[in-house]
Chain A
Amino acid sequence: MAPNDAQANVPSAALAYMAFNAVYGNYNLVVTPATPGKVDLGFATVSYVSLEGVLTAQAASNPAVSPVNVLSGVNVGQQATGGTTTQQDSTGTARTLTGFTPTQ
């Protein structure tokens, strides 16, 4: 029995029926229902975004990585940032703010 759309979008259920492409990391993984015998051209396939793919995309868009420390030195060029930039004093208190804030 081929899975329905709901099953195809629930990985735990879908895995009971499916073997999926080993290629990992894009949104266009194609899951083909397991079936005995020959599969003819045109056999229905279900577009599927894997849970792993979603998590990877989230991690990529929200990296849980702290900014690098900036070492003293001389640099030339431009830097564009959004929001605000703050500098801390020797006690760790943010003392200087430059940029946009939602309120005065």
Chain B
Amino acid sequence: MTQTPQAQPFYGRKISKTGVNVNTATDNQLVLKEDFNTGTTTYYGTNGALVLQLGLFADDSTYGQRVYDNNGNLVIQFGLLSNGGYGIAYFNPSNGLLISFNDGATEYKYNADGINYSQNGLLPDGSYGEVIAKPGVNVADLFS
């Protein structure tokens, strides 16, 4: 027998856009949504797209602050990232892939294929400097 999924209750705070009844508003009709169940606060732009999120992010179990472009695509995240590091990450808004990541000691840069072609700062062998790999090669492979 097929079980009908239970509607997920909401616990938190919502503020709707001008002229919209908050009781019936969809997320893209809100200005602000604070979800106390997930610990996430979300701000929406005038076009209904995400512009800023704070707190815990249930999609990848990271936390911090996310900044989105005008179309609601993630471009910057601060905090704990999905690669396990703490820092600042920049994403390609068109495909969501990581462009660069800075953990404070090292700056990592990635090409369109997700290959880490450059590291600057503290390197994998404990030395300091800048390494740029040949096309298709991960910097980490140079130190293994």
Contacts and interface: CB of A to CB of B under 8 A. Distances in A.
A103 interface: yes
A9 to B, nearest CB: 40
A103 B20 CA distance: 18
Contacts of A104: 7-10, 27
A95 interface: yes
B123 to A, nearest CB: 46
Interface stretch (B11-19, B69-77, B82-90, B102-110): B11-19
Contacts of A103: 7-10
Contacts of B10: 100-104
For chain B, the bracket of interface size reads 10 to 19
A97 B8 contact: no
A104 B10 CA distance: 5
Interface string A89-104: 1010111111111111
A97 B9 contact: no
A102 to B, nearest CB: 6
A93 B20 contact: yes
Interface in B1-60: 7-16, 18-23, 27
A80 to B, nearest CB: 15
Contact of A94 (B7, B8, B12, B23): B23
B7 A93 contact: no
Contacts of B22: 86, 94-97
B15 A99 contact: no
Given A86-B22, A86-B23, A96 B9 contact: no
B15 A96 contact: yes
Nearest to B35: A104
Nearest to A103: B7
A95 B13 CA distance: 11
Interface of B: 7-16, 18-23, 27
Interface of A: 84, 86, 89, 91, 93-104
Given A93-B16, A94-B21, 16 more contacts: A91-B19, A94-B22, A96-B14, A97-B14, A97-B16, A98-B13, A99-B11, A101-B9, A101-B11, A102-B7, A102-B9, A102-B10, A103-B7, A103-B9, A103-B10, A104-B10
9 contacts: A86-B22, A94-B21, A97-B23, A100-B9, A100-B10, A102-B9, A102-B10, A103-B10, A104-B8
